[in-house]
Chain A
Amino acid sequence: MARETFFALRQEIARIEGTLPERLELPADKVGDGSDRHFLPTRAVRLDAVLGGGLPRAALTEIHGRQSRDAGSVAGFALALAALARKQAAAPSPILWISTGEVLHEGGQPYAPGLLHRFALQPSDLLLASARKTEDALWIAEEAAGLSALSAVLLEVRGTSARLDLTATRRLHHRTRATGRPLYLLRQSAAPEPTAAPVRLIVSPAPAGERHTLFGPLAGSLGPPAFTVTVSRSRTSIPATLTLEWNRDEHSFRERQAGSTGRAQDSGAVVSLSSGRTHSAGSSGPGMAQRKRA
């Protein structure tokens, strides 16, 4: 109880002073032990380090896009996070994607075959909600924030809105914290405003990686999608900009190193090139299978 009072007072002071110390609050004994319970590791080492262990599992996370034509990248990045959260949830449940009519008109409808292909999200795992006005979308999000039957909620709005102020986002954040799963606030073509989200990422597109074939990367091809992510606000307050690539087979992010001219190598196993060798696999085939079973 005393903690609650203390927290409320600190908020009040922050509001008067105009600074916003809202950070992801963790129980004191859990800070720094790196447990997965509070964080959703993205598997991109540097991003996880900058965020202090990963994205918060039960919090409001703001994801910004600078321009409305970045809608594909911003939604793609958020969906990748949602797909990660869904995969790591104890009981996989649907993902709710709330958008305003304006966003759908500008950026297009969510397209189920693409989501299935890119993020392995089944159509039945998706719930799409749309509202004509921002306040209705916010209302849906608030109703959804208290539900534990969803594995992630995406709220997508466009531009700056007086409705999405500090109070509204704080309410969203607190409701989300109670249910223990993430809520991603996607803001298309909006300038950063003060909100209660402990983490804010700014996402812009980055050139895609190259397709991998048996003969190595295929020049000029469009492979795994990439995103330039700027951490503008986090628990550790370390500013960082990284380029992340989404690997749909491994269902994870990996950072693209600056040295490798924007073309990451896939470290996954690649079938070796065929060459003039004697054929020897025939006899040992069944034996190997048996050994594996034993």
Chain B
Amino acid sequence: MHPQVEIVEADPEADARLLGALADWCDRYTPLVAMSGNDGLFLDITGCAHLFGGEEAMLKDVVTRLAEQGFRALASLASTPGMAWAGARFLDGIRVAQGGEREALSPLPLPALRLDGPICERLESVGLRTIGMVMAAPRAPLARRYGAHLLLRLDQALGGVEEAISPRLPVPTLGVERHLIEPVSATHDIERLVLSLAETLKADLERRGEGARALELVLFRVDGLVFRLRLGVSRPLRDPPTIQRLFREKLAVSKIDADFGFEMVRLAALATSAFRDDQTSLTGRNENAEEDLAQFADRICARLGGSAIVQPRLVASHLPERAVSFTPFRATSAAVRKVRSEPFPLIERPIRLLARPEPVEVAAAEIPEGAPASFRWRRVFYRVARAEGPERIAPEWWLDKPDAPTRDYFRIEDEEGRRYWLFRQGLYGATPELPRWYMHGLFA
């Protein structure tokens, strides 16, 4: 071994990450980018080439830009994924026009058809060394002897069988982008770009009669790094200043390193839904207020994450911690809220519930099934002045273990007038050890 050879361990995960980052970068050419094994990328550029000055220029652009980043890329352009795959690996830089596949493939060796080693060896052992020879051979015996896969690959490369590539990211419904001659790095410049992109997007959304439910801002940095900022909104949205404001909040908290600046910015609507055009009204003050509230909630979520603002919803369960679920805020009108009013409960419940019941030390209860006379919670000693209870809540046997202990809840007031919700888990005498006490909530 040569003494100066540097030995580096193979790191397939890092390679995959790098390929993923490259795929992100290729997003600038088309939203349909798919992985090809662990060493290649498919770009479906249907309808995109004219934006880069034609197919030839686009192919050159991809290779040059990758070279600028320090990658030697083999590339080719063809009308089928199979032909493009073969072209990139065996005829670097070729552009195969539709119909030219047969001619281009003929001289290539068999691995260019994306075939496994064993099949290639078996074909070569009977003298079929190039794809042209395979194409010349009768199809029926080939299929019989080497399986349908060989013919499928052949047909896919020639375009006889349609082959779809599966993009690695969800394809946005709508997207608008801008290539910048001079890279931008200042946040307010990005915000201005968002506004102008949102105006373009608005026209597209209006044409479809829709508003965006989820938006994505993609920032392509000069050195190939790609940042994606996503946000969801509580009602369909198309108003450009609102979109700008939401991304302003998002940009304020996202750790985006502009470095040398961004050369391309894209705003995409990932999900859309029907947009109700409201009359901006003669008397509609209330309607406006609803809109304000929805925008407020969106701003909070854009900055602090989707669960920053929630609404409680009652769930039919006897267990206190299961009786409430939290749902993200969705704009509803006052009329809808009125219809959905919950019946007035008869049993008393605390106004605050601890995230999980906290153990409480109870020396002794006055009577075995009664409330404690004193207890210790968070290292503070409390003397019980008054108590009400017990309220027995049985476990939900259809969800919990069949032998889950029952809980006896007590409303307890200490000597200073604080009111607590304590429960005893289990019954005296049911198990060898004494039942445990827990603090579960605070009353007003």
A-side interface residues toward B, CB under 8 Å? 69-73, 75-77, 79-80, 91-94, 104-105, 107-120, 122-131, 136, 139-140, 143-144, 147-150, 204-208, 220-222, 225-226, 228, 246
Contacts and interface: CB of A to CB of B under 8 A. Distances in A.
Contacts of B308: 129-131, 140
Given A113-B345, A117-B347, A205-B417, A222 B388 contact: yes
B352 A113 contact: no
Interface in B284-298: 286, 289-290, 292-293, 296-297
Contacts of A115: 351
B400 interface: no
Contact of A71 (B355, B416, B442): B442
B340 A124 contact: yes
Given A76-B351, A246-B444, 16 more contacts: A72-B419, A105-B355, A108-B441, A109-B353, A111-B349, A111-B352, A112-B312, A124-B341, A127-B309, A127-B311, A128-B309, A128-B312, A131-B308, A136-B303, A140-B309, A222-B411
Contacts of A75: 351-352, 442, 444
A72 B413 contact: no
Shortest 10 CB-CB distances between A and B: which pairs? A76-B444, A72-B442, A149-B289, A108-B352, A112-B312, A114-B349, A205-B417, A111-B353, A149-B293, A225-B444
Nearest to A112: B312
Contact of B416 (A105, A205, A246): A205
B51 interface: no
Interface string B350-379: 111111000000000000000000000010
A72 B350 contact: yes
B311 A124 contact: yes
A124 B312 CA distance: 7
Interface of B: 286, 289-290, 292-293, 296-297, 299-300, 303-304, 308-314, 320, 323-324, 326, 329, 332, 334, 337, 340-342, 344-345, 347-355, 378, 380, 385-388, 411, 413, 416-420, 441-444
Given A75-B444, A222-B386, A222-B411, A111 B341 contact: no
Nearest to B389: A222
A91 B286 contact: yes
Contact of A69 (B293, B380, B386, B443): B380
B334 A93 contact: yes
B350 A126 contact: no
A91 B334 contact: yes
A165 to B, nearest CB: 22
A128 B326 contact: yes
A228 to B, nearest CB: 8
Contacts of A122: 337, 340-342
B442 A107 contact: yes
7 contacts: A72-B444, A108-B350, A118-B351, A118-B444, A128-B311, A140-B308, A147-B292
Contacts of A114: 348-353, 441, 443-444
B169 to A, nearest CB: 30
Contacts of B286: 91
A252 to B, nearest CB: 15
Contact of B344 (A70, A110, A116, A127): A116
Contacts of A144: 296
A149 B290 contact: yes
A126 B312 contact: yes
A205 B418 contact: yes
A130 to B, nearest CB: 6
Contact of B417 (A77, A128, A208): A208
Contact of A147 (B293, B344, B387): B293
Contacts of B326: 128
B293 A94 contact: yes
Contact of A128 (B310, B332, B334): B310
Q: Which of A108, A128, A139, A140 has the most chain B CB atoms inside 10 A of its CB?
A: A108
Contacts of B443: 72, 76, 114, 225
B369 to A, nearest CB: 17
A125 B337 contact: yes
B385 A207 contact: yes
Contact of B314 (A94, A113, A127, A221): A113
